[in-house]
Amino acid sequence: MFKTSKIFMKLFRSYSLIILLSFLLFGLVFIYLFHINLYKNYEETFSHHYDKIEQHMNLVDRFEWSESEISLSLEAALNHKDFSIIIYDSANHPLFIPDDERAMEHEIDSALIEKAASTKMISEGIRVDGNLSYLIASSLQNNIRGEESLIMAMVFHDLDHQYKEMIVMILITFTITIAFAGIILWFISRKITAPLREMNQIALKYAKGDFSPSVEVKTDDEIGQLGETFNYMADELNSLEEMRKDFIANVSHDLRSPLTSIKGFLVALLDGTIPEKRKEHYYLLMKDETERVIKLVNDTLDMTQLEAGQIKLNRDRYNLTRQLQRIVVKLEPQLDKKSMKIEIIPDIEELYVFADRDRMEQAILNLLQNAIQFSKQHSIVSIFLNENQDGVQVKIQDQGEGILEEDIQHIWERFYKTDRSRTNKVGTGIGLSIVKSIMDLHDVTIHVDSQIGKGTSFTFSLPISVENK
pLDDT tens, per residue, the chain with 469 residues: 444 457 667 777 777 788 888 888 888 888 888 888 888 888 888 888 888 888 777 776 666 666 667 677 677 677 777 788 888 877 777 777 777 655 554 467 777 777 877 777 888 877 766 778 888 888 887 666 555 678 888 888 777 777 788 888 888 888 888 888 878 877 877 777 777 777 778 888 878 777 777 777 777 777 777 878 878 888 888 877 777 777 677 677 667 777 888 888 888 888 888 888 888 888 888 887 787 788 777 777 777 767 666 677 788 899 998 888 888 888 888 888 888 898 988 877 788 899 988 888 888 988 888 888 888 888 889 999 988 887 899 999 988 888 888 787 778 776 566 554 444 444 556 778 888 888 888 888 899 888 888 888 999 999 886 544 4
Residue 360: partners with Cβ closer than 8 Å, 6 or more residues away: 323, 353, 438, 442, 462
Domain 312-468 grouped into CATH 3.30.420.40: no
Cα–Cα–Cα angle for 170, 174, 175, rounded to 5 degrees: 120
Q: What is the rounded CA–CA span in Å between residue 268 and residue 277?
A: 14
3-state SS, residue 351: coil
- In order, the DSSP letters of 148-207 are S-EEEEEEE--HHHHHHHHHHHHHHHHHHHHHHHHHHHHHHHHHHHHHHHHHHHHHHHHH
Q: What is the rounded CA–CA span in Å between residue 354 and residue 444?
A: 12
pLDDT at 148: 61
CATH code reported for the domain at 4-165: 3.30.450.20
pLDDT at 466: 55
Q: What is the dihedral of CA 26, 28, 31, 37, to 10 degrees?
A: -80
**Whole-angstrom Cα Rg for the chain:** 51
The pTM score is 0.46
Cβ burial of 320 (10 Å; 0-12, 13-18, 19+) is buried
> Using an 8 Å Cβ cutoff, are 154 and 84 in contact?
yes
In residues, how long is the chain? 469
pLDDT at 118: 77
CATH 1.10.287.130-classified regions of the chain: 222-305
pLDDT at 1: 41
The secondary structure of 255-281, three-state, reads HHHHHHHHHHHHHHHHHCCCCHHHHHH
- Which region, left, alpha or beta, applies to residue 280 given φ > 0 means left and ψ of -120 to 50 means alpha? alpha
**Cβ atoms within 10 Å of 191's Cβ, excluding its own:** 9
pLDDT at 146: 56
CATH 3.30.565.10-classified regions of the chain: 312-468
Q: Please compute, for residue 326, the number of CA atoms within 13 A of its CA located in the half-sphere on the CB side.
A: 10
Q: How far apart are the first and last CA of the chain?
A: 48
Segment holding 87, helix H or strand E: strand 83-88
CATH code reported for the domain at 222-305: 1.10.287.130
